[in-house]
Amino acid sequence: MEAKSTRSASESFSMEDFEKALEQHNYQFKQGQIITGKAVNYEIDGIYVDIGAKSLAFLPANEASLRGVTDPSAIVPLNEEREYLIIREQDGDGQVTLSLKQLEIKQVWDRLAETQDSNQSYQVRVTGANKGGVTVDIQGLRGFIPRSHLVEREDLEALKGTTLSASILELDQERDKLVLSNRLATRTASFSQLEIGQLVDGKVASIKPFGVFVEFGGTTGLLHINQISKNYVQSLAGLFQVGQSIKAIIADLDEGRGRISLSTKVLENYPGEMLEKPADVMAEAESRQERARKTILGE
């Protein structure tokens, strides 16, 4: 009988001990979970937050914001309900550790992912440079713009501290990889201001066997050899020089492929005028624009 009584007491103690353990730990709070809570007390190293658990949660001061703050109370007012991210599950006292910084980082990644395919431009601040490109701050995250995707590629050190427009090339949150393009953003902005039939004023950037590349308004268009004159063009070198000023009509826009097609033959008063009297065509380009626009649009 005594043995049976001893066994029952032991079983009773085990159950009580288990129940106490359950009281100390609320297993509904998991790492990575977003919960709602209210700040109730400030400490030197952080803030205690009521999240509805048996123990107050703790928000370390260095987890209060994505951007450094000296006064966490300015970010988290007392008794103001807001969301937090659990970054560490309950310790021996049943307390979980929270973060606003990691929640903001997650939200920024999510926002960027939503706009990745839209070619949206962002304002980014250049924070560093190396021979491969520049590092930038984009809404608190660290990104990288390769040298080949910068409009200004010569003096990268001079870009530190400046603000650039950039569009997303590659986004991989798991690998913490965010690659951007300044050239793509600039091109997109330029395209938004262009239309077929528009007269542009630029400079010859390079001469190729198939045509002339013209720089204007921060972008580049192609004046194909077949669009220079209504007559056959035998030699481009005899007509153009690098750096030469030139006016042309936008004949076609392909934003998806980043191509701008130009034409001067639609400015001619007669076939071959661009070959015989190119200066006259350039001088009268503005007055001939409307006729050229109607020709291109078929009006």
Same domain as 155, residue 84: no
User: How many separate domains does the chain show?
Assistant: 3
Domain contains 110:
no
Q: Is the distance from CB of 202 to CB of 234 less than 8 angstroms?
A: no
DSSP letter assigned to residue 78: B
Average pLDDT, the chain: 86
Backbone phi, psi, residue 143, to 5°: -125, 175
Find, among 117, 109, 114, the residue nearest to 188 by Cα. Answer: 117
Does residue 59 sit within a domain?
Answer: yes
Q: Which of 104, 128, 151 is the last residue of a domain?
A: 104
**Are both 144 and 202 inside the same structural domain?**
no
Domain identity same for 207 and 268: yes
pLDDT confidence tier of residue 8, bands split at 50, 70 and 90: very low
Structure tokens at 86: 């659990």
Cα 197 from Cα 228, distance rounded (Å): 15
Q: Are 260 and 220 in contact (CB under 8 A)?
A: yes
Residue 30 lies in a domain: yes
Task: For residue 62, tell me if it sits in a domain.
Answer: yes
Buried b or exposed e, range 11-26, using 16+ CB within 10 angstroms: eeeeeeeeeeeeeebe
Cα(144)–Cα(132) distance, integer angstroms: 9
| 260 located within any domain | yes
Closest CA to 264 of 202, 217, 206, 171: 202
Same domain, 199 and 176: no
Q: Three-state SS for 121?
A: coil
The DSSP 8-state label assigned to residue 238 in this structure reads T
Is residue 9 a part of any domain in this protein?
no
202 in the same domain as 162 = no
Give, in order, the Cα–Cα distances in Å from 148 to each of 134, 151, 203: 11, 8, 22
Burial of residue 249 (CB within 10 Å: 0-12, 13-18, 19+) is: buried
Q: Do residue 239 and residue 274 come from a single domain?
A: yes
Q: Which of 104, 130, 153 is the last residue of a domain?
A: 104
Residues 85, 124, single domain; the answer is no
From 104, 134, 152, give the residue that closes a domain.
104
Q: How far is residue 299's CA from residue 295's CA, in Å, rounded to a whole number?
A: 6
Kindly report which listed range (5-9, 131-135, 260-264) carries the lowest average pLDDT score. Answer: 5-9
Task: Supply the pTM of this predicted model.
Answer: 0.57
Q: Is 3 inside any structural domain?
A: no
Q: How many whole angstroms separate alpha carbon 161 and alpha carbon 79?
A: 38
Q: Which residue has the higher pLDDT, 201 or 66?
A: 201
Q: What CATH number did the domain enclosing 232 receive?
A: 2.40.50.140
> Rounded to an integer, what distance in angstroms lies between the CA atom of residue 79 and that of residue 101?
19
Q: How far is residue 143 CA from its own chain's centroid? A: 8
Between 189-198, 217-226, 237-246, the lowest mean confidence (pLDDT) is in: 189-198
Is 205 found in the same domain as 182? no
Residues 128 and 207 in one domain: no
Q: How far apart are CA 177 and CA 164, in angstroms?
A: 19
For residue 149, the enclosing domain spans 118-187
User: Are 197 and 178 in the same domain?
Assistant: no
Tokens of 159: 């870009």
Does residue 58 carry a pLDDT above 50?
A: yes
- Say whether both 197 and 291 belong to one domain: yes
In a domain, 12, yes or no: no
Q: Are residues 129 and 183 in the same domain?
A: yes
* Structure confidence by residue, pLDDT tens digits, 73-128: 778 889 889 999 999 988 877 789 999 999 999 999 999 998 877 778 899 999 99
Across the strands, what pairs with 87?
Answer: none
pLDDT at 26 over 70: no
What is the DSSP secondary-structure string of 112-150?
HHHTGGGT--EEEEEEEEETTEEEEEETTEEEEEEGGG-
